[in-house]
Structure 1
Amino acid sequence: MRDNFSDLWLGFDYSLLQDWLELSGFRVGSYEEFDTGNVFKILIIQAKKKED
């Protein structure tokens, strides 16, 4: 995919976003991926700040 769309920003992988959220003190509650009808996807993540 990067070869075909190297001039476009392809977004972030879910695992990378999950790691960033965890390191920032958040817990992922849910996430959904939606197909857009082409090679791109929409990713929605719901996260909540961890309580100490």
Structure 2
Amino acid sequence: MGLHLDQQLELFEITLDELERDLDLVNQVLEVTLAGAEDSDIIVRRYSFPAV
């Protein structure tokens, strides 16, 4: 199933907050994911791309 609009907005706000902290995404990926049994946990990861 897809995400509800409120979930999409929450993830987008978290993404913007993360970018506000560190705007440099050169050769990086910013991944924001819903996790947990009821999609109640949000995981934010940054990693190099391409991975070394």
Q: TM-score range by the shorter chain?
A: 0.3 to 0.5
Structure with the bigger percentage of strand = 1
**TM-score (normalised: structure 2):** 0.39
Computing the radius of gyration from Cα coordinates, the structure with the larger value is 1
**TM-score (normalised: structure 1):** 0.39
